[in-house]
Structure 1
Amino acid sequence: MGKDEAPGPMSLWRMAAAVAAALAIATVAEPLARRYPDLSALQLWAGPLRNAGLSVACFAGASLAHGIAARRLLRRKKGRRPVPKVLLDLLWFVLLAVATLASLSLFFRQDMSGFLTGSGLVLAVLGFAIRNVLADVFSGLALGIEAPFRIGDWVRIETLAEGRVQEIGWRTTRLVSRDSTYVILPNSQISARRITNFSAPRQEYRDHAELTLPADLPVAEARRLIAEAAATARTISGGKPPEVQVTEYGPTGITYRVKYWVPQHDRELACRNEVFSLIDAALRQQGIRLAAGPKPCDEC
C-alpha cells in the first residue's frame, strides 16, 4: 500500500496496537529494573529498552496519524475532487521528521538545536546546488495547497501544453494530451503560467462558434435557422438550448456567434464539428452561402 492510499481499518488497528505495545515496554522497563535490582541484565538494558520503546511509539504514532488523515482526506464524496498526492506526501514527511528528531533526542539525551545549527552551512551549500530542484518542489507544494487543478482535470498551461492531469508530483506534473501524448512539465514553469481549468468548478462549460452570413439575410431568420440546426446536435449537453448572438454588423456581412454547452473538455472538438456540420447543412438546404466578413483595417 502506497502512502497516497487510504489504509483499511485493520491496518489502523495494527498501528494503534504497535503504539500501545511500544509505550507499554517504555513504561514498564525502568520500574522493573528498580523492582529487581539483582538482575544485572535488566539494569543494563532498562534505559535502552525505554528509549527504543518510545522511539518505536513515535514512528508508529506518525504512521497511525498519517493513516487516519489519509483515510479521512481520501474518502470520496459526490462532487468532491481527490486530494492531491503531494499534500499527503508532505504530511508524511513532516510526521516522519518529527518522529526522527524525537528519537534522536531520546538516544542522545539532548535537544537537536546544536545539531541543526551545525548543519546549517551544509544545508545552505546543498540548497544552492539544487536550487532549481527546490524551486520545482516548492512550486509543487504551492500547486498542491492552492489546488488550481486536480488529478483528472482538463487544463491548459499557457504556451506549454494542454491535456488531462494524470499525476501531480513533487517536481513535475504529468499530462496526457488529446493525442495520447505524455507531457511532463516542471512545477516551477507551471506556476509561472496562466492556467485554464476546463473541469472546474464543473466539467460542463460553454463554448462558441462564429460564422458570417450575407447582410441581405434578415437577422431574425438567420438566428432562427442557426439555433434550430445547432439544437439538433447530439454531442452537446441536453436541456440547454444553444444561443445565437450578433457580434459584427456591416454591409459586407453579419457575424453570428452560436453558444452551446460542452459536457466535458475531451468532447469539445466533436461538439464543434457537429454544430458546424449541422449549420452548414441547414444553410446549403436554404441556398445560403457564407459571406467574406468585414476585413480588418490596417490603418485603424
Structure 2
Amino acid sequence: MNDITSQPWFWPAVIVSVGLPLVLIGLTELSNMLVRKGSRAAPIVLMVRNYLVPVAGVLVLLSQPGAWEGSGTWPKVIWTVFGLLVIVVTINAINHLVFHRAEKGSWRDRFPTIFSDLIRFVFIIVGIALVFWWVWDADVAGVFAALGITSIVVGLALQNAVGSIVSGLFLIFESPFQLGDWIETGGTRGQIIEVNWRAVHLDTGNGIVVMPTAELAEGSFTNLSRASEPYAATKDVSFSTDDPPLRVRDMLMDVARDIPLVAPDRDPSVSTAGGAKYQVSIPLQSPGDEGVVLDAFTTRLWYAARRADLHLDGDVTDDWNTPDRLLAGLRQIAPALSLRPADAEALADTARLERFAQGEVLLRPGAVPQATRFILVGRVMLGVPTDDAGFVQITELGRDDAVGLTALTRTRTISRAVALTEVEVVSIPVRVLDDIVREHPSLAREVVRENDNRVRLARSALEAVGERLDPTRRVMG
C-alpha cells in the first residue's frame, strides 16, 4: 500500500477521480441555489463548473511525470485555455461584485456602462498578453507599447468629449443631488427625474430639459430641496397708506396659512418694506408648488382684502358691495330668519355682504363664530377633521343655508366650511341674532333641528371611514 501512495501519479489521480466529482457536485448545488434566488452570479458559477474546473483537472493529470513526453504544444494550449478562462471568470466576478450588487443610487450603480466595458476590455488585453508571455515566452513589450500609443492617440482625439464625460462623472460621484430634488441653474428650474453619465433630465412643468452633466459640473446651481429651511415662495404686495399695517399683516398671514400646499411645520412670514408695501414669504412642501401657491394666494388675497375693508394696490372702489345688493340679499334670507322681508331689510345697518374665493375657509374647527353667514350664491362643503389629520365631508351647503350655527350657543364648532365655488353671503352678527331669537323663538328651534341633522350626517360620514364622533361634541357648523 505504501508503494502505491508513494507513486508520483497517485495523489494527482485521487484529486481528479475523487475531488473533481465532489467539486462539480458542490458547484452544481451552488448554481441551483443561486438560480432559485435569481442571482446574477449563477452564470459565473456555471462557467467555473463547466469549463474552469474540468480544464484544471486535465492540468493536474498533465502534471504527472511522464504524462506528456517532451515540451509539446498541447500542454501549452491547455495552459493557455486555462489562463483565458481564469481571466474571463475573474473579470465577470469583479463586475458582479462591484456593479451588479451596487446599492441603488450609489456611485457604482451610476457608473456608466461604456466605461466599465472599456475597463474590462483593457483587462482582457493585458491578461491575454500576460498569458502568452508566461506560457509561450512571447515578447509582449510591443503589445503594451502599442496599447499605450493607441491610448494617447484616442485620448488626444477625444479629449473634449471625454473631458466633458469625466467632469460629469465627478459630479455624479459627488452626489450633490438625487432623484426628486429640485435644482435651479441658469434661469432653469425643475425636478430631477433621471440622472445618467451624460445628462440630467429636469421636469420643469412645461417639458423635459435635458442638461449635460458637464454643464452642471462646470457651472453653479442651487439645490432647492437641500436647504436647511423649506423653500419659500415670495410675493410683494402693496396697500393703501391709510390701511393699518398690523391689520394688513394679520390678514396676509391668515390667507397664506389656509393654502393647502404650505409646509405644515413652518409658518408664513410677512415683512413691511415701507411705503405700504409688504413682502410675504410662504414656505412650501415642494419648490414645484410655487406657481400654484402664488396663484391661489393672489386670488384669495383680493377677496380677503375686500372683506377686511383693506385696499389692495390702493384700490378704494367696490362696485359689488352696494346697499341695493345688501337689501336684496336680506330679502332673500328673510324666511331662514323667520322674518318678513320688510323686517329683514331693517338689518341693513348691521349686516354685511361678503364674498369668498373657491377654496377659502369660511369656518375653522375650534372657532367660536362671531356671526352666522347665510349663503346667497355658491356652494360650500361642510366637513370634520379626522384623528389622522384627514378630512371627511359631511354635506354640501347651498342657497339660503347657514354657516356658523354655533354663534348662538357661543360654543366652539368642530366642523370646517370650505367654498367649493365663488360664494356670496350675508353675515349677521351674533348680537343681532340674539334679538331675532328673542322675538321669534321658532328660529332657535330651527337652528337646533339643523344642528342635530348635521351631527347625524357627521356621525354617518365618520363611521363610513372607520372613525367615531365624540359623543360630547354636539355642535356643528
Question: Which residue identity is paired with 1:242?
Answer: P
Residue 287 of structure 2 corresponds to residue 259 of structure 1: no
What is the CA–CA distance in structure 2 between the aligned matches of 1:142 and 1:100, rounded to whole Å? 27
Deviation at 1:178, TM superposition (A): 1.2
What is the CA–CA distance in structure 2 between the aligned matches of 1:172 and 1:54, rounded to whole Å? 40
Residue 83 of structure 2 corresponds to residue 60 of structure 1: no
Seq. identity, %: 17
Match of 2:334 in 1: none
Deviation at 1:227, TM superposition (A): 0.5
Match of 2:254 in 1: 228
Deviation at 1:108, TM superposition (A): 4.2
Q: 1:33 to 1:206 in 2, by over 3 A?
A: same
Structure-to-structure mapping, 1:19-98, within 5 angstroms: 19=48, 23-25=52-54, 27-35=56-64, 37=66, 44-70=73-99, 72-75=101-104, 82-83=105-106, 85-87=109-111, 89=113, 90=115, 93-94=118-119, 97-98=122-123
Cα shift readout 1:177-220 (whole Å, capped 9, x = no counterpart): 31123x33333322222112223369953332222233332332
2:170 to 122, 142, 146: 142
Question: Which residue identity is paired with 1:179?
Answer: N
Deviation at 1:174, TM superposition (A): 3.0
1:106 to 131, 148, 165: 131
Match of 1:163 in 2: 190
1:284 to 291, 298, 306: 306
Cα shift readout 1:70-111 (whole Å, capped 9, x = no counterpart): 455325xxxxxx235542645565455435422332134369
Q: How many residues align?
A: 272
Cα shift readout 1:235-290 (whole Å, capped 9, x = no counterpart): 222243222222x22xxx23322222222232221122122222232112223233
Match of 2:179 in 1: 151
TM-score relative to the length of structure 2: 0.49
Question: Which residue identity is paired with 2:255?
Answer: A
What is the CA–CA distance in structure 2 between the aligned matches of 1:92 and 1:262, rounded to whole Å? 44
Match of 2:204 in 1: 177
Q: 1:276 to 1:54 in 2, by over 3 A?
A: farther
Cα shift readout 1:152-176 (whole Å, capped 9, x = no counterpart): 33222225x4333343333333333
Larger Rg: 1 or 2? Answer: 2
Q: 1:104 to 1:24 in 2, by over 3 A?
A: same
**Bigger RCO of structures 1 and 2 (CA < 8 A, at least 6 apart):** 1
Structure-to-structure mapping, 1:287-298, within 5 angstroms: 287-291=309-313
Question: Which residue identity is paired with 1:117?
Answer: A
Q: 1:38 to 1:204 in 2, by over 3 A?
A: same
Q: 1:123 to 1:222 in 2, by over 3 A?
A: same
Q: 1:230 to 1:58 in 2, by over 3 A?
A: same
Match of 1:78 in 2: none
What is the CA–CA distance in structure 1 between the aligned matches of 2:116 and 2:226, rounded to whole Å? 26
Q: 1:212 to 1:46 in 2, by over 3 A?
A: farther
What is the CA–CA distance in structure 2 between the aligned matches of 1:53 and 1:102, rounded to whole Å? 12
What is the CA–CA distance in structure 1 between the aligned matches of 2:287 and 2:92, rounded to whole Å? 39
Give the conservation status (yes or no) of the 8 Å contact 2:302–2:312. Answer: no
1:199 to 218, 225, 229: 225
Deviation at 1:233, TM superposition (A): 0.6
1:15 to 44, 57, 68: 44
More displaced stretch, 263-272 vs 24-33: 24-33
Give 5+ residue unaligned stretches, structure 1. Answer: 1-7, 76-81, 293-300
Deviation at 1:133, TM superposition (A): 0.8
Question: Which residue identity is paired with 1:106?
Answer: V
Give 5+ residue unaligned stretches, structure 2. Answer: 1-36, 315-477
Give the conservation status (yes or no) of the 8 Å contact 2:112–2:197. Answer: no
More displaced stretch, 43-52 vs 230-239: 43-52
Q: 1:69 to 1:176 in 2, by over 3 A?
A: same
Question: Which residue identity is paired with 1:144?
Answer: I
Match of 2:444 in 1: none
Q: 1:214 to 1:19 in 2, by over 3 A?
A: farther
**Aligned-residue CA RMSD (Å):** 3.4
**Aligned structure 1 segments of 4 or more residues deviating by more than 4 angstroms:** 19-23, 36-40, 90-93, 110-114, 201-204
Question: Which residue identity is paired with 1:178?
Answer: G
TM-score relative to the length of structure 1: 0.74
